[in-house]
Chain A
């Protein structure tokens, strides 16, 4: 297990390394000059060159990349804005804030959104999927399947504003979405996030319903499940001990990917509800051609996805004893 984890972590570092190169190259392939954005109205060639020099954009791209890597690992005191301890992504071109500090600052929002949303969509999605599989072929099953089909073809940017209009602005049933610090006031933390959670989980839950249902139905037709029935185990026992255990693998796989992706920033959800999370930060970074911020968000998101991939692989070993030895 330890060897497996070490190997996977090394692999993940290689992927992150390649990803940072690609991002670097893509950034310089863009037809925009970030210096120009900072230069403002009184821009002249001298001040532009000065900005390029301050940002280090006048150096060759390989040198810039090397500096970026060095700063990331060792930190740097070379920034005009102040010291930048490792992991140093530098300072944002746009806000002049330290990128790593900004990421850490935005992280609680994204974590709150992700974990709350995941709680709801797992509960609702898997619950409905299991119920549909248990009641296969009945009206309940058909309703759940049809409902899941409709909801999974919905989009957050449609459901989100709709929920806002109906539940917040017209009826005032819920608070306006906002992120409030959990430690400061758990109640307002909850009431500020409930609408984003519900909207986010609606769409994900539909996918999990379909997945759980089909995985269970497939498992229930497995021969070993039939054996369990043939030795007199009750329907409930067979369903939850035998079929459910086998269904966990595809569900955990998708859940790991989803969780990693959401922790890297639920861009559309955060943008729709104006929540100051990593997703919003990503949009901002792209919008202002903010290379340090963009690299920071990209690498952070990719790290999350890779991390959860490794966690999923480790989970397989707990779920399926056949994986343990290999």
Chain B
């Protein structure tokens, strides 16, 4: 299982089993308006063969974290602090040429929109074959055969012919399959899937999720699965990390986080999910307010301007003191453990049905 980490901000030696461990990661961008702290003290681990789901609203720092792992941020405007250890290798200080050898090889990425993420100018087969030639030193012919094989594996009918097609000749679901084939062509140990099903319709979404799970069984890769869809995460992940405004606010196993969530933000996320069996007239319950600007984040707990449970904490702690995320199963909130439990059982759970 994915080991959940020690306290945020406290770097510790990588756990023996963790393939990827991120320690106290800070990522900030210089913009014309000032410095945006997109990720602010984030730690987590992922093990081979397991799936970590990262959930959060747009702009919570999910994607930035994962682009930073592969060094795909723009170094001109970005400052990265903290540690990213991949199989014992430190990535934040690694040379570009070393990162190149990792990308697509040990760590591969699947992006959200396969139409824009695949080049319109080259055939699908070529785009899949390229990393295989680069990382495995394979000849064009061998790499092409491998690309055809991968296309077959991800369930594209008649892969031999379809490999010669361009991405625009594929349907949305097939493009995402091709994208997955491209990511898995070199048997990566870690797969980062950045909202891989968001751009797809629901039936195709289920197929893609099944495909990912099957392939994980076969290849034994660890997966970091980024999404804002709790339904998808329930299906995919072994562990969940909930992110808000550049921080992890709650983490635990999928069961723990979804069955007995502790953080008001997680409650809000669960609450705002539409349900098929609710009354037709029942209004959706969005989290009030909007995610904060990371140019000038709120003091104390970053969720406090939107939190309806502030008064239960008492005093001004929520505004002045930033709650820390304890090790393992934990949530970063000033409510006491008893309060969290009783509020969830008495006030939140009934509404979830």
Contact = CB atoms under 8 A, between A and B. Distances in A.
Contacts of A325: 169
A223 B72 contact: no
B111 A227 contact: yes
Contacts of B57: none
A319 B168 CA distance: 14
Contacts of B183: 231
B236 interface: no
B53 interface: no
Interface of B: 70, 72, 76, 96, 100-105, 108-109, 111, 113, 116-121, 130-131, 134-135, 166, 168-169, 179, 182-183
A60 interface: no
A322 B72 contact: no
Contact of A246 (B76, B121, B131, B182): B121
A230 B110 CA distance: 9
Contact of A229 (B101, B103, B120, B135): B103
Contacts of B116: 222-224
A230 B108 contact: yes
A295 to B, nearest CB: 43
Contacts of B182: 227, 231
Contact of A227 (B119, B121, B166): B119
Contact of B166 (A137, A234, A322): A322
Q: Which of A229, A232, A319, A325 has the most CB of B within 10 A?
A: A232
B72 A229 contact: yes
A228 interface: yes
B168 A231 contact: no
B117 A224 contact: yes
Nearest to B71: A229
Contacts of A321: 120-121, 166, 168
B35 to A, nearest CB: 18
A191 B96 CA distance: 47
Kindly name the residue among A137, A222, A246, A321 whose own CB sees the greatest number of chain B CB atoms within 10 A.
A321
Contacts of A245: 119, 121
A235 B102 contact: no
A233 B131 CA distance: 7
Given A223-B111, A322-B168, A230 B120 contact: no
Contacts of B113: 223
Nearest to B77: A137
Nearest to A242: B119
A322 B117 CA distance: 15
A320 B168 CA distance: 11
Contact of B118 (A137, A224, A232): A224
A140 to B, nearest CB: 14
Given A223-B113, A321-B166, A321-B168, A230 B104 contact: yes
A232 B100 contact: yes
A70 interface: no
Interface string A213-256: 00000000011111111111111000000100110000000000
Contact of A320 (B117, B121, B135, B169): B121
5 contacts: A136-B76, A224-B120, A227-B182, A232-B102, A234-B134
B110 to A, nearest CB: 9
B348 to A, nearest CB: 38
Nearest to A234: B100
A78 B166 CA distance: 59
B166 A232 contact: no
Most chain A beta carbons < 10 A, residue from B109, B111, B117:
B117
Query: Which of the listed residues B119, B120, B166 has the most CB atoms from chain A within 10 Å of its own CB?
Result: B119
Given A223-B113, A232-B134, A320 B120 contact: yes
A222 B117 CA distance: 8
Contacts of B101: 232
Central interface residue in A136, A225, A230, by most chain B CB within 10 Å: A230
Contacts of A320: 120-121
A222 B96 CA distance: 20
Contacts of B108: 230-231
Contacts of A242: 119, 121
Contacts of A226: 72, 111, 117
A231 B103 contact: yes
A322 B120 contact: yes
A230 B103 contact: yes
Contact of B76 (A137, A228, A229, A232): A137
Contacts of A230: 70, 72, 103-104, 108-109, 111
B243 to A, nearest CB: 21
B167 to A, nearest CB: 9
Contacts of A224: 116-120
A232 B168 contact: no
A34 to B, nearest CB: 54
A234 B100 CA distance: 7
A97 to B, nearest CB: 50
A242 B122 CA distance: 9
B14 to A, nearest CB: 23
A258 to B, nearest CB: 24
A127 B102 CA distance: 31
A112 to B, nearest CB: 35
A242 B102 CA distance: 20
* Across the A-B interface, the 9 shortest Cβ-Cβ residue pairs: A231-B104, A232-B104, A232-B103, A231-B131, A224-B119, A223-B116, A230-B109, A321-B166, A245-B121
A250 to B, nearest CB: 14
Contacts of A322: 120, 166, 168
B4 to A, nearest CB: 27
